[in-house]
Amino acid sequence: MRLWGVVPAAGKGLRVGGDIPKQYLPLAGGTVIQHTLDRLSKLPVEAIVVPVAAGDERAQQLDYRDPSVLRFVTGGAERADSVLAGLEAIAAQAMEDDWVLVHDVARPCVRLADIEGLLRQIGAHPAGGLLANRVRDTMKRGSGDEVAETVPRDNLWHALTPQVFRFGLLRRALLEAQARGIVVTDEAQAVELLGERPLLVEGARDNLKITWPEDLQMAEAFLRLQAENGS
């Protein structure tokens, strides 16, 4: 199967590092974006498209493991806009049934074994799927700073990335959400709006998304442990 990557990196993500978008924060001898793209470039991808903010040239100036597979394009205001820009960048080459892997630039610790497992499991699935973790904590719905209700955690999952869908289906889903004025927070939500049911594939819990300052320290520790364990 042919596989393409899209890694939206046009967001500001300033909650972590003040004036520096989180993808450019230092991490384990490099930057967050370098670790993420270097890991994904080990997959058998046709190309990895990286939508960045207009005028942002920093990503292209960094050193990467395999820069030949990377394509930098201008992203959009919302995540879905950036993913669509990535899909348009490969539209002349990608086939309708090619797989597109969308991954958060702020998830540098994703395990290749998990991605490979995801790709195997969605092979015969009509829609595609995503890495996810089962919810194990008691879930509360809040009203301001108070508890409004306890939400049963049965069948609840934390959605992670990568999320992998057929090129044609994903493009159609994102365009449909855009036409309906729906701001989707991940690709699976857009696909769900078409009536599809993406496959949930359990992934490792160290596939964290860097959002807060302490997440950088956790990511560095996870990368070190992964290197020591060869994972």
- For the domain that residue 79 is a member of, what is the CATH number? 3.90.550.10
Give the model's pLDDT for residue 6: 98
pTM over 0.75: yes
Residue 132 · residue 201 · CB < 8 Å: yes
Q: Which of 219, 222, 228, 205 is CA-nearest to residue 27?
A: 219
Give the model's pLDDT for residue 16: 64
Give the model's pLDDT for residue 15: 59
pLDDT < 70 stretches in the chain: 13-18
Our count of domains for the chain comes to: 1
List Cβ neighbours of 221 (8 Å cut-off, separation of 6 or more).
none
- Supply the range of the domain harboring residue 42: 3-229
